[in-house]
Amino acid sequence: MTEQNVFSKGLEDVVAAESSICWIDGKNSKLLYRGYDIHDLAQNSNFEETTYLLLFGELPKASELEDFKKKLAAEREIPRAVIDWLKLAPKGANPMAVFRTAVSYLALFDPEVEDNSIEANGRKALRLIAKLPLVVACFERIRKGQEVIAPKKEASVSTAANFLYMMKGKDVSAVEVRTLDQYFILLTEHDLNASTFAGRITVSTLSDIYSAMVSAIATLKGDLHGSANTRTMESLIAIGDVKNVEKFVDDAVQQKKKLMGFGHRIYKGPDPRAFDLKRMSKALADAFPGHAKWYAISEKLEQVVWEKKKLNCNVDFYSASVLYAIGIPVDLFTLMFAISRTAGWTAHFLEQYRDNRLIRPVSQYTGESQRPYLPIGKR
């Protein structure tokens, strides 16, 4: 057999699509959404405005943003049947598995689910962005034996504020809302990561946008993609005190265990998102003294890992202490990732629909050369 194609394990550095949504410069730690630097967006924008940018290519004017917020707020409801199903989900089931199935079930109630026109898919994208946070909030209350809280439908109430209200059953501080809003911005898009690529493959078959969303969520569920923030917080809890950091790292190095929240496939230097998340974690430590412990452990762990392994922390590292400080349960961290990434996912799905070609790569064959078939009695 002759080799006809260049093989790259894991498709590393293989260009698999043309996209105008996101640009990553891994060597220089740069991340741009539609040409806008992630630091500018995290510090000056909000999730709704950033979502508009990803979907439509430009930052909105004031009137456009207000109209967009109204459309999102109007979609803040999920069918009673979906809530009833969440109540039937087995206790102790993996939250991402429940979420994946709930999104699939949600598709059955969308009258436009099989309409693949650009206009219908745009409307469905807005529904997904608006409804998926509600699914997570309802799931959290149901599994705790609490009543589901009705969403706020005022356009002035942000996605972050409404989610925290529905999950906690009360309005929370402006600091918590702004922190979650910034987290959503920082995690909302990252080029052809595994989940985005999986969703684009599904779209390329001309399947519906809900199926693409389920593909993306199922891919994010994997431990090598979406769970590092959860594993990081588990590490911080296991460390328990700043004085235990060095021993924790030494033990991990000796036992050849992966240090969660460190290193990145794309970034050769620091992950640019980690800079903003560290700043956010420090601000939470200053605002909520009870959080200071987790920030202190994180900061020390970052320092020791760099000294011993020369590894930079990634987006998941300070995400852990940030989400923990605003009261997000540890096993919901990956679902928060999914909520934020929904905007980026749908932007990619719409882009794929607009200029589609079935994604069908080839493999490099490593099996036997052609062999003659032998009758069973001669084998």
Burial of 8 per CB tally in 10 Å (0-12, 13-18, 19+)? exposed
pLDDT digits (tens, 9 = 90+) for 219-269: 999 988 888 999 999 999 999 999 999 999 999 999 999 999 998 888 988
Q: How many helices (H) and strands (E) does the chain have?
A: 16, 3
pLDDT of 68 over the 60 cut: yes
The answer to whether the CB of 296 falls within 8 A of the CB of 242 is yes
pLDDT digits (tens, 9 = 90+) for 111-148: 999 999 999 999 999 999 999 999 999 999 999 999 99
Catalytic positions, please?
264, 316
In this prediction, residues 180-199 reach a mean pLDDT of 96
CA distance 62 to 53: 13
Q: What is the DSSP string of 162-193?
A: HHHHHHHSS---HHHHHHHHHHHHHHS--SS-
Is residue 201 very low, low, confident or very high in pLDDT (cuts 50, 70, 90)? very high
Q: For residue 143, which of 91, 99, 98 has the smallest C-alpha distance?
A: 91
CA distance 366 to 240: 48
pLDDT of 14 over the 80 cut: no
Any idea which residue has 């064959």 for tokens? 365
In this prediction, residues 2-13 reach a mean pLDDT of 68
- Mean pLDDT (the chain, rounded): 95
Indicate the class that CATH gives domain 22-223+330-354.
Answer: mainly alpha
pLDDT of 3 over the 70 cut: no
Any idea which residue has 């943003």 for tokens? 65
Three-state DSSP at 368 gives: coil
pLDDT of 79 over the 50 cut: yes
**Phi and psi (nearest 5°) for 23?**
-130, 130
| Domain boundaries defined on the chain | 22-223+330-354, 228-325
Give the count of beta carbons closer than 10 Å to the beta carbon of residue 143: 19
In this prediction, residues 160-169 reach a mean pLDDT of 98
DSSP single-letter state for residue 57: S
Q: Which long-range contacts (CB under 8 A, 24 or more apart) does 114-122 make?
A: 114/208, 116/206, 116/208, 116/353, 118/350, 118/353, 118/354, 121/209, 121/349, 121/350, 121/353, 122/55, 122/350
The token pair at 201 is 């493959």
The answer to whether the CB of 222 falls within 8 A of the CB of 194 is yes
Return the pLDDT at 91: 87
pLDDT of 211 over the 80 cut: yes
Torsion sign across C-alpha atoms 311, 315, 320, 321: positive
In this prediction, residues 25-39 reach a mean pLDDT of 96
Return the pLDDT at 281: 97
Return the pLDDT at 1: 44
CA distance 149 to 170: 9
CATH assignment of 228-325, given 1.10.10.10, 3.10.50.40, 1.10.230.10, 3.30.70.2750? 1.10.230.10
In this prediction, residues 295-320 reach a mean pLDDT of 95
Total count of residues recorded for the chain? 379
In this prediction, residues 354-374 reach a mean pLDDT of 92
pLDDT of 2 over the 70 cut: no
